[in-house]
Amino acid sequence: MIRDTGIGSKLWRTAVWAVVVVFVLNLLALIATVVIDSLSTRWLGTWLPAGFTAHWYADAWDEFGLTDVLVVTFQVVGAVVLISGALGVTAAYALARRDFPGKRAATLVFLLPLLVPPLTYGIPMATLLYRVGLGGSFAGVVLANLVPAVPFVVLVMIPFIEQIDPRVEAAARVFGASTWQLFIRVLLPLLLPGVLAALLLVLVRTVAMFELTFLTSGPTSQTLVVALYYAVFASGVRAGQEVDVMAVVYMVTTLVWLLLALRFVNPTQIVARAKTQGAH
């Protein structure tokens, strides 16, 4: 490693770390503000609230119907994870194992939904879903959320599948395994860590996916993040603490899965859609 020892380098190094510290402090303070406010009796014009209470949690839970919202959220997320897993893993297997005409075009079709922001394609998509009568329904929300989820599973799974030696599959065939046995006994155990990682990331991303759910959901198909948006949007109607309770519930829901996901994957994978850009 190269050591620069001049006074300029030291100052520069200090300045860079200072920026990191300021950023992280602001971020943590922002999260702490939400958590503390949700627990405060009254917090106006002081450093810390006048007192602490947990009663806002009970109030907000009833007021926002959080049980229903959470149930809907997990139904949507569960459906998206299962469908995108089934579609994505099979497609990734074909893309990893075969070289066929039109493969580049197929890859591009899978890449585009990850590069175009959801709001850009969400508006025509939601319009179409409303025209065919799926707008505002549970099915519409699931379909909309599949658009970023399926390509994400495909692109995360391709390298995992490429790592598996095709000769392992050939050996299983030689010993007389049927396609189904090959899949259950050989591929699935080898792919399980990759599938688990991909699906956990889809889960985290779907819980946090605001735009598509916002555009396609109706009153009975709102997920937590959309309910939170409406609560903030209409803040002033209710006590600010209740909105923050909702934010904390959302934060906990996301973070539990994030921490679980981080046990299996590198944090950079959550944003590294651009890894696939290496092909340029």
Partner 1 sequence: MTAVPAGRPTAVPLRVRLAARGIDGTTMLVVPALLAIVALFVYPFVYGLVLSLQPKVGPFTASYRTFFSDPFLRETVWNTLVLAIPTTLLNILLAVPIAFRVRLMSNQRLLTTILVLPVTLGTVLVAQGLLTYLGPQGWFNRTLLALHVIGAPLKLTNNYWGVFASLVITGFPFTFLLTLSYVSGIDPALEHAAATLGAGAARRFGRIFLPLLVPGLAVTFCLSFVQAFAVFPSAVLLGAPAGSTHVISIAAYQAAFERYDASLGSAIAMVMGAVQLVVVLLALGARSLFYRGPVGGTKG
Which of 138, 210, 238, 239 touches partner 1 by CB under 8 A?
Answer: 210
Structural tokens at position 224? 């937590």
> Is residue 279 involved in binding partner 1 (CB under 8 A)?
no
Per-residue binding letters, 167-196, with partner 1 (x by CB under 8 A) = ------------------------------
> Residue 258 interacts with partner 1 (CB under 8 A)?
yes
| Residues 131 to 160 in contact with partner 1, rule: CB under 8 A | 143-144, 146-147, 150-151, 154
Q: How far is the CB of 65 from partner 1 (least distance, A)?
A: 18
Decide if residue 255 touches partner 1 (CB under 8 A). yes
Tell me: does residue 109 bind partner 1 (CB under 8 A).
Answer: yes
Taking CB under 8 A as the criterion, the residue among 41, 53, 127, 220 binding partner 1 is: 127
Answer for which of 56, 64, 110, 160 binds partner 1 (CB under 8 A) is 110
Number of residues interacting with partner 1: please give it, by CB under 8 A.
95
Contact pattern from residue 235 through residue 254 relative to partner 1, giving x for each residue in contact according to CB under 8 A and a dash for the rest? x----x--xx--x--xx--x
Residues 3-62 that bind partner 1 (CB under 8 A): 4, 9, 12-13, 16-17, 19-20, 23-24, 26-31, 33-34, 37, 44-45, 47
